[in-house]
Each structure stands twice: as C-alpha cells, then as structure tokens.
A and B are shown apart, each in its own frame.
Chain A
Amino acid sequence: MAYFKKSPWIFHYDASSCNECDIEVLACLTPLYDIERFGIINTGNAKHADIFLVTGSVNEQNRSVIKNLYDQMADPKVVVAIGICATSGGIFRTCYNVQGGIDKLIPVDVYVPGCAARPESIIDGVVKALGVLEQKAMALKHEQLVESV
C-alpha cells in the first residue's frame, strides 16, 4: 500500500484560471523543484492519474468537463484545489459566470490557498493529498476483500 506514496501521478486541469497557479504547478516540474524525484509524473490523461490538480474559478463551460474528467479517473483518487479561485472563487467569486470553488462540483480533499499558490505550498498540498490517497486505498482494499468474500 505504500506505493501510492511512492508513485503519485498528477493530472492538471485549468478551470478558467488566470494561469498563474498553472504556471506555478508547472514550475514544480522544473529542475528547481523537481517533483519527479518523488515519483510524481504529470500525465495528461485522467485515466492514468491519481491526483487531480484543479486551478481556476470554474465557469459554465468547465462544469461538465470537471465532472467528466473526475469520473474518468481510476480509484483511488484525490482532488487538490490549487489557488484561492479553486477553493472559493477568489477575487472573481461574485462574477455572474463563476461557480466559485470546485468543491461545488466534485469532492475536494486538499485545498491549497494562495494567489498564486507557491510551488512550496503546492508540493506541501500534494504530500498531504498522498496521505489521504493512502487512506482511500486502504479503504478500497478492505472493500474489495469484503466483496470477494
């Protein structure tokens, strides 16, 4: 079960973000922060990923997309809301077209506030998400054992 901690694959979606948080996410992949040393890979594909990183304040167009991508992910999976816009809508919260926080659409496990969230916070958030992922994996395993009996 320790393997989720050793090999968490992330999948990143920009829900009408201003792109600042996205840039910070990508900065984590650069040699300066190098999250690949933790085994983290940015897969571009929901089916391959364990951790769903979402940025942005979510508008009309994004709603079905986020739900669809979340459904396509294989269990166990966790969602990390990056930036204050993904958490609650940020400074765009009162706009007519803004959903305001992705937890209105899908269950979020970790919130990483900030505008833009710094790479250190993002890494910290992902590590916290790994703990949640491990718990979910254990629960899933237990469920599978019960099912097969």
Chain B
Amino acid sequence: MNQISFLLLFPLAPALLLAFISNQIVRNLIVWVSSLALIFVSLSLATAHLGTSPEFFSVDSPVLEKLFFAGEIILSLYLLWRCRGINKKESYIPVLIILQAGIGIFLELSGKLPKVENAFYVDNLSIIMALIIGIIGTIICIYSLGYMKEYHEHHKEMKENSRGFFFIFFLFLSAMFGVVLCNNLVWLFFFWEVTTLCSFWMIGYSKTEEAKRNSYLALGMNLIGGLGFSIALVYLTFFTKAPTIELDKLIHAGSALALIPACLICFAGLAKSAQLPFSSWLLGAMVAPTPVSALLHSSTMVKAGVFIIIKMAPILQHTTAGLFLAGVGGVTFLMASLMAVSQSNAKRVLAYSTIANLGLIVTCAGVGTYEAIWAALLLVVFHALAKGLLFLTVGTVEHKIGSRDIEDMEGLIVLKPFLGVVMLIGIAGMFLAPFGMLISKWACLKALMDASPILAVLLAYGSAPTLFFWSKWMGKILSVSSNAVTMESPVDTNEATALTSLAIPTVLTCLLFPLIASVAIEPYISNLYGQTMSLSRGNMLIMTIMLGLIILVPLGFVFYPRKQKHVSSYLAGANVSGSTSFLGAMGVVKDVATRNYYLSAAFGEAKLSKASVILGGALILGMFVVVII
C-alpha cells in the first residue's frame, strides 16, 4: 500500500514545486530526482507484487470521500470557467460538464452509493501499466527538459509556460497511477477526468487558434465518453441487483449482470483511446509539443482507455456486444492504417498508427478470450515503448532539421546517425518480425480467428497498409544521396538519455519477451481465466534466430567491410556530377530528387474519414442495441 500511496501522492510534490520554479538548473534537478524516485518505486511495486493473485487494500476514510467529491466539483467548475473561449460548434461541452457534474452530485448526495470494501488494488496488469507510466512517463519528462528549451528557442513568439508544463506533467502522472491502481470506480472516474483536463491543457499549450480549437475538441470528445462512464455509475448504483462500484466485483459479476455497465465504461474507453468515431481529437492533438504527444497521446493516457476495456474483457467474452466492440476496434485498425498511407507529416502518421494499434487492442479486448488478452497485453507493452520512442525521436529530429515531414528526413541515417538508428529501432519495433508487435499480431490472428473470422479478415487487410507506410518511412531514412555528409549539431543530453533509455528496452523486450510473458502476463491471465497460453518452444526458437540474425549480420558488415568499386547510379547516362544531378531537357541541370508515394487519391483522409466515422458510430450503436435487447 505504501508504494501505491507514494505513486499517487508523490508526483504532486514536484508538480507544485515546478509550478513555481523558473530556474533551469533547479528544474532539471527536481525532474531528475523525482523521475528516478518514481522509477524506483514503480520497480519496487513490481518486484513486491508481481505474482499471481491481485492484492486489495482498503482505505477507510470519510475525509478521502469528501475530498474526491470536492475535487470533482472543483474540476467541473474549472472546466465550465474554461468554456468561456468556446465557439458555437463547441456549445455541447458546457452541457456535458453540467450533466456530468449533475450526475456526480446526485450520486453522492443520494446516499445510495454502495459501500466500497477495497479502494485500491494491484495486480499484474496494473503493474505493467504502472511500469509504463513510471518508467516511460518519467523518461519522457526528462526528455522534455531538453525539448521545451529548444521549443521556445524555435518559437520565440510563443509565451513560455514551462512551469505550467511540468506542473501538468507530474499531475498527469499522479492521475494515471490513480486510474490503474484504483478499485473504486467513482474515484477512478475522477482520476480519468483529471487526465482529460491535463490533455485539454497540454493541447492548448501554444495558445494558437488551432491549438485552442483542438483542445476543445479533445475535451468535448472525452467528455462524451465520460458521460458514458457517469451513466454506468448510475446504473451500477440503482439498476443492478447487487449494487457495487468496485471494479473487481464488477468484473467477477459476469456478463448477465454486468454487461450494460461494462459497455458504458467501454464506451468511455473508446472515446479516450480515440477509436472511431472519436479519432479526430487525437489527430488534432498533434499540435501539442511532442513530449505531450508521446506521453498523453501514445504511451499513457490513451492506454488508460484500452486499459479499462481490457479490464472489462472477461465480461465481454462470448457476448455479441463484445463482438460489436471488437468490430469497432477492427474497423478503426483498418481505416486508420489506410489513412496513414496518405500522410507525409510524421506526427500524423504516428497518430494514425497509434489509433490503429489501439484499435487492435480493443478488438482483442472485445473478443475477451484468454488468447486475445494475451495478445492485447503484449501489444500494450510493445506499443507503449516503440511509439513513445518514435514520438520523442521525431520531436528531436524536428528541432534539428526544422521539419516534421517525412520527405525531409531523407538520408537521416547518414545526416544524423544516432537519431536515424533510434528511429529505425522504433519503426522496426512497430511492425517488423521478430520484434514485439509482430508476435502480438501473430497471437491476435489466432485469437481473432477463433472468435470471429470477420475480425481476423479486418486484421489481415489492415496489416497490409501498415507495412507500406512504415517501410516507406524506413526507406526514406536509409536513402542516402552520395553527397550526404553528417551534420554537426549535438543532441541535448536530456533528450539523448531519454532516447537511449527507450531504444534499449525496445530491443531488450523483444529478446526478453518470453520472460515478460511468463512473469507478468501469463499469471494475470491464468488468474482471471483459469488457463493461459504461451508461445511454443519452436516459435520462440525461430524468433530468437531471426533476432540474432538482425543483430549479427549488420555487425558482420561493420567489421568486415568490403572494398567495392563505386560508380554513379543509373540516370540514363545523363549524370552531371556523380549521382546527384543530371542533364535534363533543354540542357538544364536538374538535381535528383526522390519522393514517396502517398496515394492520397485512394487513401486520402478526405475520402475515408466520413465512411470511417459512420462505420464506427454504427458499430457502437449496434453494441448498445444488442446489449439492451
């Protein structure tokens, strides 16, 4: 329990401190010390509790109850106050806030809220999430030290608010720990809405018109999801035979009793994870500074959404509603992957890829069988690492080359070798065998096929465009023009540390995933389902061989370089100087330039967004219809 209290309360200390301290050196110190403390405690939580059964902790404190209630009111009031800046289209937002607050007040004052036996808990899934928040989250904080400095150097016109930035970062970490360690659904919901608030603040950080509109969009969509959560709480208090607001009791209640609230909570999860039809807020959120995109919008906050859906999985197992939910995830995976093909803005590609991967996790969770959850948990781990790494790398690269367009990252492997290698590790981690995502995809296919072949077909079609846009990007980084030279501009220490600290685990988790699976994932599943699965010996051997080859063969080439004759590339013989320019029409010398295919006519957002939103919305509607009937 000590570690839980520490993880929940401690981040508030640096948050408050950093809100008032402007001195860079002191700030760096506080961030480093707090981060190391959080990493240490997260790890000790893991070592202490990484076992088989979940452990519960009760907190008997009416003061705490009142505090949470007060917090909800303050939060709602603050959000209403912030709604001053909305325009006509966003007028649904204050309505939602009032509704939500109203429901909250009604529940609290009715006195009918069920007594909570265990307010907090820890099980393997919470530990995995806590490690992600505590380790990846803090690494991103450290990265931000270097990033925000350079960000404001590049954007001198923007008002600097680093104090607010770091305050919100640590507040967010605290809220995320709350989401994954809290058994009391009302309190969990409070933490949930705090993360919404943090996201709202961060997206609007730059205070440009675009940022403001996108922050309201994010707020609005998350509030819609939050409304679902609130309605679930009402249902759990008044409309069930055995009222409970405890997460574990809900999960063990089984589908017959718990399906409706589970679907409502999953609805909130869908909004938070930017699944269709709610995907636009995540795309809009890319205007935020890159560490925000890494922390909130890929590694952590959106994981809260899928986290809660995974928790609901045993209830959704073998139900039609669960299949509809899985359908939402599957369609999201397919459509987001297709739309990513047409994007050349690196952050948008990463955003679409995030949405797609979260969709895949939702699909597995909706299916809810033990095989599917095994795949989903692996996906959570690998995605958090690789995507966080990619966002951070893109952030640094953007500062160094002045652009976040993939076309400008040509030859990065020679221009900026460290960043190029790290980016390649991130991209490889996202889709290449034998890296983690591949193992997850393998497990997904099997699990989905056993549940519903349509879902497996969606996965088969969706994985094709993913290989296209990732390979395109990799090719761009590796496409070296013969006159390319390494640019000298060193990467900030904080950023470099963060990048290395994420790159190495990305590779290590691939090597060690059987260990991770058997220690963390499989106990969780066998505890919940009574049986578990694991990768067979043969397949593990194959993975090891492939990984070994991918590491050893490049080393072989580094240590045994062959001397070969260099010639220019084929430009129909019209080369002017080596391979970089040629004699074009009218005797004009032209430079060789290569561009990737973006196929916007076929895969453009304009064409696909509308259909995606309609499909997603229809499937969610279907889920609720099925559940009510």
Contacts and interface: CB of A to CB of B under 8 A. Distances in A.
B573 A66 contact: yes
A72 B567 contact: yes
18 contacts: A13-B573, A45-B570, A46-B570, A46-B573, A47-B567, A47-B570, A64-B573, A64-B575, A65-B573, A68-B568, A68-B573, A69-B573, A71-B567, A71-B568, A72-B568, A72-B570, A74-B565, A75-B565
A68 B567 CA distance: 9
Nearest to B587: A61
Interface of A: 13, 45-47, 64-66, 68-69, 71-72, 74-75
Main secondary structure of the interface of A (DSSP, over half): helix
A69 B569 CA distance: 10
Interface in B525-578: 565, 567-568, 570, 572-575
B574 to A, nearest CB: 6
A75 B565 CA distance: 10
A42 to B, nearest CB: 15
Indicate the member of A13, A65, A66 with the most B CB atoms within 10 Å: A65
Contacts of A66: 573
A66 B565 CA distance: 19
If over half of B's interface residues share one DSSP class (helix, strand or loop), that class is named, otherwise mixed; here it is loop
Nearest to B576: A64
B567 A65 contact: no
Contacts of A46: 570, 573
B583 to A, nearest CB: 8
A60 to B, nearest CB: 10
Interface residues of B, number: 9
Nearest to A74: B565
A12 B565 CA distance: 23
B353 to A, nearest CB: 36
Contacts of B567: 47, 71-72
Contacts of A13: 573
A104 to B, nearest CB: 17
A137 B570 CA distance: 24
Nearest to A46: B570
Contacts of A64: 573-575, 583
A45 B568 CA distance: 13
Nearest to A67: B573
A106 B603 CA distance: 49
A58 to B, nearest CB: 13
* Interface-centre pick from B567, B570, B573, B583 (highest chain A CB count, 10 A): B573
Nearest to B575: A68
A65 B567 CA distance: 14
Given A65-B574, A68-B568, 20 more contacts: A45-B570, A46-B570, A47-B567, A47-B570, A64-B573, A64-B574, A64-B583, A65-B572, A65-B573, A66-B573, A68-B574, A68-B575, A69-B573, A71-B567, A71-B568, A72-B567, A72-B568, A72-B570, A74-B565, A75-B565
A6 B575 CA distance: 32
B37 to A, nearest CB: 59
Interface centre among A45, A46, A72 (most CB of B within 10 A): A72
5 closest A-B pairs (Cβ-Cβ)? A65-B573, A69-B573, A68-B573, A72-B567, A68-B575
A46 B565 CA distance: 14
B356 to A, nearest CB: 38
Interface string B415-441: 000000000000000000000000000
Contacts of B570: 45-47, 72
Nearest to A45: B570
A44 B583 CA distance: 20
Interface string B198-210: 0000000000000
Contacts of A65: 572-574
Nearest to B574: A65
A66 B568 CA distance: 13
A64 B575 CA distance: 8
A71 B566 CA distance: 10
A68 B572 CA distance: 9
B566 to A, nearest CB: 10
Most chain B CB within 10 A, of A13, A45, A47, A68, is at: A68
A120 to B, nearest CB: 29
Contacts of B565: 74-75
Interface string B105-129: 0000000000000000000000000
A74 B564 CA distance: 11
